[in-house]
């Protein structure tokens, strides 16, 4: 059965993540120790003990999630050894794409950590715009609403733009843009049949054109970063197509800051490539829930704790 490894993004963080690994896996301990050294602050303690408000802050949550996902992967590799079946593709949701790039061989962990720390800083510094989750409205209708609102506001407001930022599942989309545009689009979505509209607690309009300065900052951060060709193809957030080469990875890292996360199309592309089993590596089960709604019947495995790794060790297919 062909396998894909997928890695969660911001929002999956939880106090206590990774704590159960450090007593059983030297490889996981090394990942956390490396993160503490590179970042020059006790990220591991923040993951293990919080406080939650500090862990949730964008500049902390992003390196914390990367580190925990990589610690889980390192523990899997250490404890399962040759029994661990390799994926045919990797992917990650937004921030999770950096974990996938490490797993796929394009970045080493220390390079990814430095890039993610910078990404978190740039995104935390952005204070323009807002986001909202739209539940139960189709993508075609929501795209039309975004176009209508953006066109109507262009002459009245600077950056009067709203776009779909996350195509998470057929019944779960996220819009992003200027505050007034997101408010207008949210009202229209409700009037045209959305079951729920949920304003998100974010500081800015992530994955929208309003993040252009953050994208420029990531381009600058990449100038001194070593990027390799992928040994396992990455299904890219921006295009939902496989990436193989270092130059493509560099473009993806910059573009994904302002472009939508095409998660539905990414999962569908993986299925078209023959993937039958999706292994979510990281805290929580957000991606598992989304994939279940995109591909009913897909085989889904979560690896978020040491207990999950123990369960894998008992499985015939890992």
> Rounded to whole angstroms, how far apart are CA atoms 39 and 64?
11
**Helices and strands in the chain, H and E counts:** 13, 10
Which residue among 93, 207, 208, 266 is the active-site one?
Answer: 207
| 207 annotated active-site | yes
Pick the closest to residue 174 from 133, 138, 129 (CA basis): 133
Q: Could you identify the residue written with the tokens 């609403």?
A: 145
> Rounded to whole angstroms, how far apart are CA atoms 101 and 193?
38
CB burial class (10 A; 0-12, 13-18, 19+) of residue 191? exposed
Q: Do you know the residue count of the chain?
A: 318
CB burial class (10 A; 0-12, 13-18, 19+) of residue 109? buried
Which residue among 44, 94, 178, 186 is the active-site one?
Answer: 94
| 94 annotated active-site | yes
Token pair of 88, please?
């045919």
Question: CB-side exposure of 16: number of CA atoms within 13 Å?
Answer: 5
> Rounded to whole angstroms, how far apart are CA atoms 313 and 81?
10
Pick the closest to residue 262 from 195, 188, 207 (CA basis): 207
- Cα 155-257-218 angle, rounded to 5 deg: 115
Given a contact cutoff of 8 angstroms between Cβ atoms, the answer to whether 293 and 270 are in contact is no
> Rounded to whole angstroms, how far apart are CA atoms 142 and 186?
10
Given a contact cutoff of 8 angstroms between Cβ atoms, the answer to whether 47 and 68 are in contact is yes
> Rounded to whole angstroms, how far apart are CA atoms 22 and 29?
5
Q: In what order do the strands lie in the sheet with 172-177?
A: 162-169, 172-177, 130-135, 196-199
Give catalytic residue positions: 94, 207
């Amino acid at each position: 059965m062909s396998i894909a490894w997928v890695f969660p993004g911001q929002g999956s963080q939880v106090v206590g993540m990774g704590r159960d690994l450090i007593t059983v896996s030297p490889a996981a301990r090394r990942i956390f120790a490396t993160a503490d050294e590179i970042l020059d602050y006790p990220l591991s303690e923040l993951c293990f003990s919080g406080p939650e408000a500090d862990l949730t802050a964008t500049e902390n949550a992003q390196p914390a999630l990367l580190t925990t996902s990589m610690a889980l992967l390192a523990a899997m590799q250490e404890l399962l050894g040759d029994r661990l079946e390799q994926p045919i593709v990797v992917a990650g949701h937004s921030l999770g794409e950096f974990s996938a790039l490490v797993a796929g061989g394009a970045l080493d962990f220390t390079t990814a950590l430095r890039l993610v720390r910078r990404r978190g800083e740039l995104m935390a510094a952005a204070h323009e715009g807002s986001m909202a989750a739209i539940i139960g409205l189709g993508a075609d209708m929501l795209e039309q609403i975004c176009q209508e609102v953006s066109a109507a506001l262009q002459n009245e407001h600077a950056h009067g733009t709203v776009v779909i930022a996350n195509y998470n599942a057929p019944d779960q989309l996220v819009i992003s843009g200027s505050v007034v545009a997101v408010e207008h689009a949210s009202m229209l979505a409700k009037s045209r049949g959305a079951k729920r509209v949920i304003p998100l607690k974010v500081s800015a309009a992530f994955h929208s054109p309003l993040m252009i300065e953050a994208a420029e900052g990531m381009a600058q951060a990449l100038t001194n970063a070593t990027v390799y060709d992928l040994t396992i193809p990455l299904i890219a957030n921006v295009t939902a197509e496989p990436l193989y080469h270092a130059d493509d990875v560099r473009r993806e890292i910059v573009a994904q800051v302002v472009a939508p996360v095409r998660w539905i199309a990414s999962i569908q592309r993986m299925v078209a490539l023959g993937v039958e089993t999706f292994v979510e590596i990281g805290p929580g089960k957000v991606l598992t829930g989304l994939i279940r709604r995109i591909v009913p019947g897909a085989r889904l495995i979560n690896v978020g704790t040491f207990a999950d790794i123990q369960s894998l060790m008992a499985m015939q297919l890992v």
